[in-house]
Structure 1
Amino acid sequence: MALQPASASVLNNRGSAYLMLHQVDDAISDFKQALELEPGYADAYCNLGNAFTELNRFEAARLALQQALALDPSMADAHLALGNALDGLQRFDEAVASFDAAIQLNPRYAAAFCNKGNALRTLARYDEALACYERALKLQPADVAAMRGKANTLVGLQRYPEALAQFDRALALEADQALTRFDKGLLLLLLGDYASGWALYEARKQHEKLARYTCNLRQFDWPEWQGERELAGKTLVLHQEQGPGDTLQMLRYVPLLAELGAKVVLLVSAPLQRMAASVRGPAGWLRVLRTCLRSICIARSCRCRTASRLRWQRCPPVCRIWWCRQMCTRRGLHVCPPRRAPELAWSGPARGSTAMTTTAASTGRRLPDYLPCPPSFIRCRKTIAKTRQCARRLACRIMPSACRISPTPPG
């Protein structure tokens, strides 16, 4: 830079170095400066798109990568990067098409096969995904990402022993792979191995993107609780980590911590504060520890084998009355019926909607086949873009009026 301060290629190369060092903001600055000097620099647009993807700014990435391909349609790397951005935008079919374009330009592009497998797996097209991962591993046998993707696909196909073996192969190559340990932990929890599963689940804290974007882990000055039982005279701050459903699940374990002598303080979002208010711990304040709600189960006394014996938090009476009236109104009733009509509620990010197709994909049966009578649906999400699409995949129907129910009672 000292010799050529106005060189677009030097700025692009330095930006690439910054990107490899995860100094993404510095990388973006260099790529933009390179493009100011040379507006037709396709490589700089491609690298800028990769940098935006690193920050989960997928729409900005898509625009940059489309500009790169407009300048040079033969860039296999740009097609791959565009597929990654489209995957982040949950436009999975388009992502598959971009990965196919990269493969057409470079038939030995292992990363394109791997990422195509990721998109197909999200669409629950498990057999196609498995073929992609196997092709990627044939081209690059030590590709840990492809091994992890293959393992997760085998989980989707309910081939659990093979999935565990695949996770172990990946960990044998890179034992410190936080994402692989996290995914293996999810499988062990599914199989009922709670001690090992919850221990591996803690790996989410070591993975930057999981911690920041998926788990929404927060930083505090207090030391982190590591599961030790000696909590007498200490205050334990439990903070919400993921969605409201997960939070309600984990609130059931809070009394177990109180039994160990901890004073429990909960940090949860506003809609859950009424429910969380019923959780109480003994008084006392000597030293403060903190942890995520979903880390409670690392304590031996809080293992999930006790979940069936734990009581759910009770909804405040004012909320129960309000919801009862709302449901009766939606059904055109003046009083609540003596018997409950079956209703299915779902929530979560739009990406999670594909998980709802797993039953149909793996068994060939529609969800209503499992239910005694046709259900109505209560949508608990803040957006409705994917709601009807989910219902179509489930071969069910949504009560239109249900989509208008406010998720939070007044007051």
Structure 2
Amino acid sequence: MAGELKIAATSAASPTTVSELFAKAIEQHQAGRMERAIELYRHLVTQHPGYAPAWNNLGVALRATDKFAAAASALRRGTAISPEDAGAWSNLGNALRAIGEYDEAARAHETSLEIDPEAGRVHYNLALVRRDLGDLDAALKGFAEAEGRGFKSSEMFWDRALTYLVSGDLARGFREYEWRWQLPESPPRFSEIETWGGQPFEDKTLLVHMEQGFGDAIQFLRYLPMAAARGGRVIYECPPPLMRLVRNSAVAADIELFEQGTPAPSADLQIPLLSLARVFETTLDTIPNDGPYLQSLADGPKLQVSSDGPRVGLVWTGKPTHKNNRNRSIALETMLPLLEMPEIRFVGLQKGDGSDQPQRLGADALVVNIGERMRDFADTASILEQLDLLVSVDTSVVHLSGALGTPAWALIPYSPDWRWLYGRDDTPWYDSVRLFRQTKPGDWPEVLDRVRDALSQFADAFEKNKSKN
């Protein structure tokens, strides 16, 4: 989570009309009325194109509204006019990072630090880019540089935790992962109940509660039996779309479920689901991975898509509210070279945002999207077990496939989510999942070329096995 530097204030040397308009724009900006602020900044730079503070603030406002490319262009204008503005250079670095221009982003933050080497927030911003580039030692050094200069935000400590995790230092990473409860968007829950520290709890009730997304829930369900083995009664707050599947699975054999959104039963102890990894002192070598831990329902929906060749599930976009969704998702149009493969029958499992892309592209004969017919994860699990393979961007469906033990190929952006680590095409979390990583930021076509080659080999092997049978 990059830190923006302070909005540039008006200069006393500015003409009165410029100062008044700039002050009005700042007022709207600070009040969170971004569209109105952008309108005023735009008017100001149109009338006074050499006024650098307006360009810089326009870039910050555009980035706040997810217009990252335009934000970078505005900030480039501002830094060209006023190259000694350290804050503008770092804000440019933040915008460039958002569009995956990591090398240029690093240079922008470095320029900012050449002007003001004591800016702790900029050391933090640069550390984030170093992590994106895979230079994890430099990232950790940058966090230390920021902290040493008095910058000690919860966001930075949270980002440092993610850096430890993606480096494979899970023990330290999960300890620092508790910083998430200091973030404004993650207020602690059930804080009136004592937090469980891993001790035996005979004759007591432990509440394990939901946090974050469905993929996180699926990944960390594996810890529930370990908690139950410590004694007493365990109750788990289960998201409704997962309820039928979890109830049917061995992972919940000794667990009581209650639906998220309903009143929680009384409990003596509580712990967030993902904190179980810390309690059990998880390392890369001790990740609980004894095979599939979710099982589909026997009476689940049947896949009514016939094919002489492999039937391959396809998911091309994640939840739009995910912070990294623009980098992890792929437009279906980019995937069209895959859909040309005559030996493969593609079955879309896309729900919600992006589910209309086959029809909009006129590609609904190339990929039959049944995602919207899936009522919940139990239905999706049944379909996955009837498919020959899943090819998906980094979404909850990958986790589901891994937890079921069905084969999945995950398409991973250059700067990965922490759980996929760096520099490997497998994952210690799921034996059945293979990773296809970007080799350059944003370069999905190259990834899809490799996937296409691998699918061709997969189809050949499928045909040989079919001939034997």
Structure 2 length normalisation: TM-score? 0.60
Contact 1:256 1:301 in 2 (8 A): no
Residues 69 and 75 in structure 1, CA contact (< 8 A), matched pair in contact too: no
Please state how far the C-alpha of 1:357 moved relative to its aligned partner: 8.1
Change (3 A) 1:309 1:136: farther
Assess, with a 3 A threshold, how the Cα gap between structure 1 residues 103 and 251 changes in structure 2: closer, same or farther: same
Q: For 1:403 and 1:140, how far apart are their aligned partners in 2?
A: 54
Task: Find 1:85's aligned residue among 61, 67, 73.
Answer: 61
Q: How many residues align?
A: 333
| Cross-structure match for 2:116 | 140
Matched, 1:353 2:325: yes
Q: Deviations over 1:60-102 (max 9, x none)?
A: 4122332244257566444434323322332210111222233
In structure 2, the residue corresponding to 1:96 is in which secondary structure? helix
CA gap of 1:159–1:42, structure 2 versus 1, over 3 A, is closer
- Which secondary structure does the structure 2 equivalent of 1:174 belong to? coil
Confirm or deny: 8 A CA contact 2:146 2:152 kept in the other structure.
no
Q: Is the alpha carbon distance of 1:207 and 1:69 closer, same or farther for their aligned partners in structure 2, counting shifts above 3 Å?
A: same
1:338/1:374 Cα in 2 relative to 1: closer, same or farther (>3 Å)?
closer
What amino acid does structure 1 have at the position aligned with 2:324? Answer: G
Cα 1:357–1:232 shift into 2, 3 Å: same
Alignment of 1:201-350 (within 5 A): 201-208=177-184, 212=185, 216-217=186-187, 219-223=189-193, 225=195, 227-277=197-247, 278=249, 279-281=252-254, 287-300=267-280, 305-309=286-290, 311-318=292-299, 321-322=300-301, 324-325=302-303, 328=304, 331=305, 333=306, 341=312, 343-344=314-315, 346-349=317-320
Aligned counterpart, 2:17: none
SS of the counterpart of 1:204?
helix
SS of the residue 1:317 aligns to? coil
Shift of 1:147: 1.6
Structure 2 distance, partners of 1:385, 1:119, is: 29
- State the SS of the aligned residue for 1:401: strand
Who is 2:37 aligned against? 64
- Describe the SS at the equivalent of 2:268: strand
For structure 2, list consecutive stretches of 5 or more residues without a partner in the other structure.
Answer: 1-5, 7-19, 257-264, 331-336, 380-469
Counterpart contact for 1:253–1:310, Cα < 8 Å: no
In 2, are the aligned partners of 1:62 and 1:82 still within 8 Å (CA)?
A: no
Evaluate the alpha carbon distance shift between residue 378 and residue 338 of structure 1 in structure 2; reply closer, same or farther with a 3 A threshold: closer
Give me the whole-angstrom Cα distance separating, in 1, the residues matched to 2:356 and 2:58.
23
**Aligned amino acid, residue 177 of structure 2:** Y
Does 1:161 pair with 2:137? yes
SS in 1 for 2:66: coil
CA distance in 1, matches of 2:64, 2:51: 20
> What letter is aligned with 2:27?
N
Q: Given the superposition, is the C-alpha separation of residues 270 and 82 from structure 1 closer, same or farther in structure 2, using an over 3 Å criterion?
A: farther
| Greater relative CO (CA pairs within 8 A, separation 6+) | 2
Question: Using a 3 Å threshold, how does the CA distance of structure 1 residues 301 and 107 change in structure 2: closer, same or farther?
Answer: closer
Post-superposition CA distance 1:146-179 (Å, at most 9, x none): 2222222222222222222222222333373322
Give the Cα separation in 2 of the matches to 1:201 and 1:398: 45
Are the equivalent residues in 1 in contact too, given 2:72–2:92 (CA < 8 A)? yes
Q: Deviations over 1:194-251 (max 9, x none)?
A: 110111111121122xxx1xxx545335335253424333323233221111111111
Is 1:47 aligned to 2:19, yes or no?
A: no
Task: State the Cα distance separating 1:312 from its structure 2 match.
Answer: 2.8
Q: Secondary structure at the match of 1:237?
A: strand
Q: Deviations over 1:126-158 (max 9, x none)?
A: 111111110111122122332222222222222
Give the % identical residues. Answer: 22
CA distance in 1, matches of 2:145, 2:98: 23
In 2, distance between residues paired with 1:299 and 1:108? 48
Gaps of 5+ in 1: 1-19, 21-39, 53-59, 359-366, 392-396
Counterpart contact for 1:50–1:81, Cα < 8 Å? no
Cα deviation, 1:368-394, whole Å, max 9, x if unaligned, reads: 7xxxx9794745452129979xx9xxx
Deviations 1:250-281 (A, max 9, x none): 11111111111243222233212223334254
| Secondary structure in 1 matching 2:327 | helix
Change (3 A) 1:89 1:274: farther
Q: Retained in 2: the 8 A contact 1:217–1:241?
A: no
Residue 246 to residue 66, structure 1, CA distance change in 2 (3 Å): same
Amino acid at match of 2:318: S
| Alignment equivalent of 2:368, drawn from 383, 388, 401 | 401
What is the CA deviation profile of residues 277-301 of structure 1, one whole-angstrom value per residue up to 9, with x for unaligned ones?
A: 3425468x98533332222212035
Q: Secondary structure at the match of 2:26?
A: helix
Range with greater deviation from structure 2 (243-252 or 64-73): 64-73
